Amino acid sequence: MSVYGITIPGFAQMPRSLTTLLAKGEERAQALGFDAKNLLDARLAPDMHTLARQVESRALRRRKPCAG
């Protein structure tokens, strides 16, 4: 199996999974009656990055190895 075959399918799956999770979060926010954009600035713990920063970090980590 090639390096491409080992890495790229996993890299391609991450954005799809993340999109699904973010959509579920948005649906939940709407069901509870608050703006889903507030979740982007949320942190699970004070020393964690915001959700927006974590999503950005994940995207960059997946993109850089693919750039060659």
Whether the per-residue pLDDT at 27 is higher than 90: the answer is yes
Question: How many separate domains does the chain show?
Answer: 1
Q: Which H helix or E strand runs over 59?
A: helix 51-67
- 60: confidence class by pLDDT, cuts 50, 70, 90: confident
> What SS3 class is residue 35?
coil
Helices 3-32 and 51-67, packing angle to 10 deg: 160
Global pTM value: 0.67
Domain that holds residue 58: 3-67
The CA distance from 61 to 68, in Å, is 13
